[in-house]
Amino acid sequence: LLERARFPRRHVGESLSPGVLPLLESAGARGAVEAASFPRIRCVHVQWDTTAAQVREDPRTEGLLVDRGVFDAILLEHARRCGVRVLQPARVAERRQTVSGWLIEILFSDGARQLRADLIADAGGRDAAAHPALVGRRMLALYAYWRGSHLPTEPKIEAARDAWYWSVPLPGGLFNLQVFVDPRDFERAHSNSLEERYHALLAQSRVLESSRNAQLAGCVRAIDATAYLHSTCVTAASIRVGEAAMAIDPVSSSGVQLGVQSALAGAVVANTLLCRPESAQIAARFFQESLRAASKRHARWAAGYYARAAARFETRFWQKRAAGAALQDNPKASPIPSPVMPATALTLSPQLIFADVPCLDGEFVMLHRGLLHPALETAVVYVGGHEAAALLQGFRAGCTILELARSWTDRMPMESGLAIAAWLVNHSLLETQISVQSGVR
């Protein structure tokens, strides 16, 4: 592992969504992170599409507020314990692919040396994502750290006329306050310094209204926060993970979670490329398609969330980001069906297709029988931990949800079978015979 900076070092992305801890558990790192006793996110104050602030509570309290310098150092130490050789600080001066693998020239403070590698995983973040395809409207984030009394003790998100704000209290008493703006509008603003523009934007916010003596604890910085997807995230001898592959809109607050997800999946893909080169195309297809689906899903969610603020402010900033929110839904998908009674006769949707699709299977990417349908964003292989195609194999038209669940009792409890059958109906893979006969969708 080649790491450019010494740890600990400050880094944005300090508010971790609840899905991060389960992912860290699968990598064996959850215990070390929880031992650091980072504060839990118990609620978020939101002032978005209404003038009054709302409090959204997290009953699971699995979100974390972390010092990224400490958090990243914990993960780095976990990597060392797993046998990873860490070179830090080290910078890649050149990498060249040859017929026998990669030659990498590495610069250290005391000189240079060369390494040979069969495969490179690029986790260099936005700096490594050269010329990606933009997914959302361009976004610029201005941020700075603050100290003072009576600073907010819980995360806040707030919408204003031409910007939005995200603030998080951090371990050690620091407070990170970020402002997201349109970069073109920001460039047109006439101010003498970045700090002056930052303060001018804060004047439109109520985030610091309760703190009388808040002071900057460092300089104001600006970073690109535009969502994007790299066109080629995997080859036979390289893979991109994290923001080297894709970035989602910051309004989702799930960037770290998605980065960890791509790394965990990328590890299986890399293992397949190295150990089963005959499956390289399958592995590459899986990785690229899964990232593309995640990018579309987050873009659709972000546009819908921006549309709520656009209805309140009706300014160009919001309308540009909400554009196409209604059109983002899959036009081929069936509307949400009415509740199906347990005794209603069912049949397979005529649009349902059984096909071999790539998926994660232990330590490798393999082809499995899966389900394709216009109502699904991606192919489905497993539902509730069971192979969906196998559950529907030999399906008898006219059977009910109850009968279908009973036919699976040798594989799962009745309660689980009912839940899976209901999922298949709610996602239009199974339809009522009445709706099929009448042409209702």
DSSP 348-384: E-TT-EEEEEEEEETTEEEEEEEEE-TT-SS-B-EET
Rounded to the nearest integer, the mean pLDDT of the chain is 90
86 sits in which H/E element: none
- Going by the DSSP 8-state scheme, the letter that residue 247 receives in this structure is E
CA–centroid distance for 159 within its chain: 22
Highest mean pLDDT among 82-86, 375-379, 392-396: 82-86
> Residue type for 370, please?
G
| Mean pLDDT on 182-200 | 86
pLDDT score of 335 more than 90: no
pLDDT of residue 213: 86
| Mean pLDDT on 188-215 | 86
Residues 328, 56, 137, 17, CA torsion sign: negative
d(CA 319, CA 298) in angstroms, rounded, equals 18
Number of other residues whose CB lies within 10 A of the CB of residue 131 = 7
pLDDT of residue 341: 65
Going by C-alpha positions, the residue among 54, 1, 63 that lies closest to residue 33 is 63
pLDDT score of 139 more than 60: yes
Q: Identify the band that residue 8 occupies on the pLDDT scale cut at 50, 70 and 90.
A: confident
d(CA 174, CA 222) in angstroms, rounded, equals 18
Q: Identify the band that residue 129 occupies on the pLDDT scale cut at 50, 70 and 90.
A: confident
d(CA 182, CA 162) in angstroms, rounded, equals 8
pLDDT score of 247 more than 90: yes
pLDDT score of 61 more than 90: no
Q: Which long-range contacts (CB under 8 A, 24 or more apart) does 420-427 make?
A: 420/383, 420/384, 420/386, 420/391, 422/340, 423/383, 423/384, 424/383, 424/388, 424/392, 425/337, 425/340, 425/346, 425/401, 426/336, 426/337, 427/373, 427/375, 427/376
Which segments within 382-429 are labelled E, that is strand?
A: 382-383, 386-387
* Cα angle: 264, vertex 268, 269; to 5 degrees: 110
d(CA 198, CA 297) in angstroms, rounded, equals 31
Going by C-alpha positions, the residue among 271, 268, 237, 244 that lies closest to residue 258 is 244
| Mean pLDDT on 47-60 | 84
More confident residue, 432 or 198: 198
Q: Identify the band that residue 134 occupies on the pLDDT scale cut at 50, 70 and 90.
A: confident
pLDDT of residue 438: 47
Instruction: Of 133-137, 268-272, 298-302, give the lowest mean pLDDT range.
Output: 133-137
**Model confidence over 423-435: pLDDT tens digits?**
999 999 999 876 4
pLDDT score of 330 more than 60: no
pLDDT score of 288 more than 80: yes
Give percent of the chain with pLDDT exceeding 70. Answer: 93
pLDDT of residue 328: 44
Highest mean pLDDT among 317-326, 333-342, 408-417: 408-417
Cα-only R_g, the chain: 25
Buried b or exposed e, range 198-207, using 16+ CB within 10 angstroms: beebbeebeb
pTM above 0.85, yes or no: yes
Going by C-alpha positions, the residue among 415, 194, 429, 199 that lies closest to residue 333 is 429
pLDDT of residue 59: 66
Q: Identify the band that residue 440 occupies on the pLDDT scale cut at 50, 70 and 90.
A: very low
Q: Identify the band that residue 441 occupies on the pLDDT scale cut at 50, 70 and 90.
A: very low
| Mean pLDDT on 25-38 | 95
pLDDT score of 240 more than 50: yes
More confident residue, 325 or 387: 387
Whether the Cβ atoms of residue 19 and residue 256 lie closer than 8 Å to each other = no
d(CA 29, CA 31) in angstroms, rounded, equals 6
pLDDT score of 329 more than 80: no
Whether the Cβ atoms of residue 141 and residue 113 lie closer than 8 Å to each other = no
pLDDT of residue 9: 87
Q: Are strands 43-47 and 156-159 parallel, antiparallel or unpaired?
A: parallel
pLDDT of residue 185: 87
Alpha carbon distances (Å) from 148 to 151, 171, 195, 217: 6, 14, 18, 9
pLDDT score of 34 more than 90: yes
pLDDT of residue 332: 42
271 sits in which H/E element: helix 255-275
More confident residue, 172 or 386: 386
Give percent of the chain with pLDDT exceeding 90. Answer: 75
